């Protein structure tokens, strides 16, 4: 059932409280940009433990300005598979949680990440590239989004509906590598919330993500038998050739499954060319639009691996999972898209929601049973590259949109409990 004209009018109408909040946000526009630039100058690549640890206290301090309890949590080390197929462990930065008014009638979960994809020393300059844009690491993805979240909450808490809405925020240090340390925090916060808001960047045009595929990461560790490639090649069993056979089989799976994508990202292993390689690690990513196809993809991989293991002297171990389940459109998501679009009408905006193969913490929130909007951050583009940019006039726009959503959730114009019930 779509919204009535009366519903749309009510959501698009700006109350005096809305106007006051928007004025406050616009007065903070330059400060939002300055804070984002300041934060982007600190490298927080996902594997930069020192950078993550040094940045986390800045988040604790910034979110301490809210009427909320802010905590920093050390997490268990993240398991990694090295190029020899052995398990290693990485201690990521802390998860930051922010909790306020857990007894309020409306509960919102908010998520964001402070890690970026850029290792220390690879992309550090921040430049004005004209046309109202800045280029720099994490400006859009997603330190700008965290600033938008913070300023929207400040504006909301300055208004009259504060006590009607509570929230739980998870700021993670490992989103770009899968949320393996922070996922339990997100799940716990999401399970008790009515609605989720995540602050990944919107597209430059303002378009937002609709349905999302699920994502899997697998490391397939192949073991063979080393031997001298000149004196006794027949005595060896090549793990790299087994991995290559598996990779060619994955290519056929990718061609056969229209809506599922498989990508062999790397094959690591071996040593000198005069040694038959006894180890190889194949790095594989999968995207699937729903759980049925995700399960089929995994079964197909297992069948392929059994075929490869018919090679004499080869063993293998498949390590990984669909760490982010699919986030398809359903009745709850569709209704949430409608009310957010109608709310954007108060800002003179018309939103579009485009399905994507990309994944984010919105997938995790959906898995916990909570409908969510996951691209409420700044507008930008070319993320995950040295051409990443942010559109400067989107800071006030996106913070304003979030504040209006919060106002409507609190005053009942957006019926959070009803939307949540549509997940059943």
Contact between 71 and 96 under an 8 Å Cβ cutoff? The reply is yes
Q: Which of 141, 175, 200, 374 is catalytic?
A: 175
Q: Is 200 a catalytic residue?
A: no
Fill in the DSSP letter of residue 140: I
Closest CA to 323 of 296, 293, 363, 383: 363
Q: What would the two tokens of residue 282 be?
A: 């194949």
Residue in the structure block whose two tokens are 């201690």: 91
Q: How far is CA 178 from CA 37, 91, 110, 374, in A?
A: 25, 14, 17, 16
Q: CB neighbours of 356 closer than 8 A, spacing ≥ 6?
A: 209, 210, 211, 212, 213
Q: Is the dihedral of CA 233, 238, 240, 242 positive or negative?
A: positive
Which tokens hold the place of 330?
Answer: 């359903």
Active site residue 234: no
Kind plus residue range of the DSSP H or E element containing 410: helix 394-411
Question: By C-alpha distance, which of 96, 88, 144, 195 is closest to 396?
Answer: 144
Q: Give the residue ranges of DSSP H helices in 13-119.
A: 16-27, 29-40, 49-63
Beta-strand relationship, 69-73 and 315-324: unpaired
Select which of 115, 268, 374, 388 is catalytic: 115
Active site residues: 115, 175
């Amino acid at each position: 059932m779509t919204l009535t004209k009366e519903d749309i009018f009510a959501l698009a109408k700006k109350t005096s409280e809305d106007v006051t909040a928007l004025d406050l946000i616009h007065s903070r526009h330059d400060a939002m940009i300055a804070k984002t630039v300041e934060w982007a100058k600190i490298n927080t690549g996902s594997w930069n433990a020192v950078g993550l640890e040094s940045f986390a206290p800045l988040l604790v301090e910034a979110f301490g300005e809210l009427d909320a309890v802010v905590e920093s949590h050390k997490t268990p080390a993240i398991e990694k598979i090295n190029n020899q197929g052995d398990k290693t462990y990485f201690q990521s930065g802390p998860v930051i949680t922010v909790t306020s008014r857990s007894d309020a009638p409306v509960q919102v979960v908010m998520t964001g990440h402070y890690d970026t994809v850029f290792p220390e020393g690879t992309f550090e300059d921040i430049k004005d590239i004209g046309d109202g844009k800045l280029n720099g690491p994490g400006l859009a993805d997603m330190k700008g989004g965290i600033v938008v979240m913070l300023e929207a909450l400040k504006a909301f808490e300055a208004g009259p509906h504060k006590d009607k809405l509570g929230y739980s925020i998870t700021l993670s240090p490992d989103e770009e590598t899968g949320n393996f340390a922070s996922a339990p925090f997100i799940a716990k916060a999401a399970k008790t919330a009515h609605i989720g808001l995540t602050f990944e960047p919107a597209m430059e045009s303002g378009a937002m993500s609709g349905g999302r595929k699920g994502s899997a990461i697998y490391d397939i560790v192949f073991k063979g038998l080393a031997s001298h490639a000149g004196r006794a090649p027949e005595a060896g069993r090549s793990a790299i050739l087994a991995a290559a056979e598996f990779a060619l089989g994955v290519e056929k799976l990718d061609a056969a499954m229209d809506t599922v994508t498989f990508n062999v990202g790397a094959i690591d292993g071996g040593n000198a060319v005069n040694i038959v390689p006894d180890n190889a690690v194949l790095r594989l990513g999968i995207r699937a639009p729903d759980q049925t196809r995700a399960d089929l993809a995994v079964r197909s991989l297992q069948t392929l691996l059994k075929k490869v293991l018919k090679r004499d002297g080869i063993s293998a171990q498949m390590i990984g999972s669909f760490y982010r389940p699919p986030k398809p459109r359903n009745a709850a998501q569709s209704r949430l898209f409608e009310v957010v679009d109608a709310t954007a009408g108060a800002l003179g905006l018309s939103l579009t929601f485009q399905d994507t193969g990309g994944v984010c913490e919105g997938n995790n929130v959906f898995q916990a049973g909570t409908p969510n909007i996951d691209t409420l951050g700044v507008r930008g583009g070319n993320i995950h590259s040295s051409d990443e940019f942010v559109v400067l006039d989107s800071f006030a726009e996106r913070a304003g949109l979030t504040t209006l959503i919060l106002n409507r959730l609190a005053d009942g114009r957006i019926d959070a409990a009803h939307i949540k019930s549509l997940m059943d």
